[in-house]
Amino acid sequence: MNIFRSLNHIYAQIIDDRSGRTLVSASSLDREVKGSLKGGGNVAAARAVGQALAGKAKAAKLERVVFDRGGYRYHGRVKALADAAREGGLKF
């Protein structure tokens, strides 16, 4: 699971390293996430993206991932996304 954050949005994807393919992804720009948010660059958006990613991963029968925070510190939006993904059933 890889995370990228910008000032205005946050993105997460689960990538198969062997084939180099993205299996599932979610971002604060997705229709189902964006509708319930005021902005995409805050902790609430990160939580929503984590929950959406966990739901999509469950549908794709993915349970275990390796968490790549992309060099970002583990606090704020990154922590909120990771916690929401864990609550949604992902193990890392």
- For 2-87, CATH number? 3.30.420.100
Q: With helix as H, strand as E and coil as C, how does 69-84 read?
A: CCCCCCCCHHHHHHHH
- Percentage above 90 pLDDT, the chain: 86
Model pLDDT, residue 37? 84
**Residues β-bridged to residue 16:** 21
Q: Beta strand 21-27 with 2-5: parallel, antiparallel or unpaired?
A: unpaired
Structural domain spans, the chain: 2-87
Residues 11-55 pLDDT 10s: 999 999 999 999 999 999 998 888 878 888 899 999 999 999 999
